[in-house]
Amino acid sequence: MRIKIFVLGLMCFMIYGCATAPAPRQIVKAFTIEAQFDDVWVAVIDSFSEMNLPIANMEKDSGLITTDWIGYPLGKKGKVYCDCGGLGIWIELEREGRFNVFVKKITESSSELKVNCLYRQTIQPATAGAGDSIKVRTCVSTGKLEADMFETVKSKLKIE
């Protein structure tokens, strides 16, 4: 009987202790802007600077601007931009994001802004000892950074 209670207790602890996956979300990644491509391009570059997103690569001909992995402080800011799910018995060591922004000419007076965000979280067991494995898992965007980028670009272009 004691073994059954012990096994049941252990199973409950393991189920409770497992990290859970983040919930999938429907987010807006593409925005139409009533402005010429060149103006939007300059506004996007200014927005990267204002939002403290270091640019790794940019190619105006393709309309692509990218970043490398950017670490977020283990606090509210990182949790606003992405959802990594529950930790269970795990602890978070690091949270990072990587961004690709595309600017595309639609017409002479309108452009499309597309923001793609990737997030990841590095975790380890709370009872970690030497040799315990560290895991990296994918997080999902909350849509906040995409919306912030769009609003920042609009403000640079002075669009309502």
Look at 159 and 96; give whichever has higher pLDDT. Answer: 96
Give the per-residue SS3 of the chain: CHHHHHHHHHHHHHHHHCCCCCCCCCCCCEEEECCCHHHHHHHHHHHHHHCCCCCCEEECCCCEEECCCEEECCCHHHHHHEECCCCCCEEEEEEEEEEEEEEEEEECCEEEEEEEEEEEEEEEECCCCCCCCCEEEEEEECCHHHHHHHHHHHHHHCCC
What is the value of pTM for the model shown?
0.80
Name the residue with tokens 């919306």.
147
Cα-only R_g, the chain: 21
pLDDT reported for residue 120? 95
Side chain identity at residue 18, one-letter code: C
- At 2, is the pLDDT very low, low, confident or very high (cuts 50, 70, 90)? low
Domain 18-157 has CATH 3.40.720: no
Instruction: Quote the pLDDT of residue 26.
Output: 80
CA 75 to chain centre: 14
Is residue 90 scored above 60 in pLDDT?
Answer: yes
Amino acid, res. 52: N
For residues 116 and 29, the answer to whether their CB atoms sit within 8 Å is yes
- pLDDT, one tens digit per residue, over 10-52 is 333 443 445 566 666 688 999 999 999 999 999 999 999 999 8
Return all residues near 29 (Cβ < 8 A) that are at least 6 apart: 114, 115, 116, 146
Mean pLDDT of 72-91: 80
